[in-house]
A = this chain, B = another copy of it.
Amino acid sequence: MLRLSTKGQYGVRAMFEIARGYPDRPLTIKEIAERQDVSVAYLEQILGKLRRAGLVRSIRGPGGGYLLAREPREIPIAAVLGVLEGPVAITSCVDPREGCIRIEHCVTHLLWKELGAQIEGFLNTITLGNLLAGDVGSPHKVRTVLKRASKDQNSQ
C-alpha cells in the first residue's frame, strides 16, 4: 500500500545524481540516465517538470546539462516529490485539489489528514544533503515517542 510512482522515485534519484556531481559541472540527461538506469526520454519529462518548478536549471548546447538551483541541503525530498506527484493526499477526502463532500460524517477524515501531515513532516526533514551524507536513519527516528494511548481511553 501507499506506493510511490516511478516518476517520484526516478526524480529523487536523478536529483541525487545531479547533487552528487561536481557542483559546478552540469550533468547531461544521458549521464544521469546511464548512472541511474532510466531511459533518456522518460527522464526528459521528469527533469522538465523539476526545471519548471525551479528546483534545477538547465544549460543548453554542448557542455550543457542540469544543475541544482539551490544547495542540496536546501532541497527537501518533499519538494521533489511534490512537483512530480502533487501534494500528499491519502484520500481524495483530504486532497487540497478536491475536497470532502461529507466532512461532517467522515470520521476518518482527521485520520488521513494526520497521516498525511506525518508523511509530509518526515519528507520535509530529509534533504538531498542528508541523502548525500547517507544520513537518513536513526537521527530522524521519532517512533519511540509514539506510545499506545490506551490509558486515556478507558474512560470511554
Contact = CB atoms under 8 A, between A and B. Distances in A.
A52 interface: no
A140 B149 contact: yes
User: What is the total number of copies of this protein in its complex?
Assistant: 2
Interface string A35-75: 00100000000000000000000000000000000000100
Contacts of A2: 2-4, 85, 88-90, 119
A92 to B, nearest CB: 8
A117 interface: yes
17 contacts: A1-B87, A3-B91, A4-B91, A9-B93, A9-B108, A13-B108, A37-B102, A108-B131, A110-B134, A110-B136, A114-B122, A114-B136, A114-B137, A117-B143, A118-B118, A129-B150, A139-B149
Interface of A: 1-5, 8-9, 12-13, 16, 37, 73, 77, 81-82, 85-93, 102, 107-108, 110-112, 114-115, 117-119, 121-123, 125-127, 129-137, 139-143, 145-150, 152-153, 156
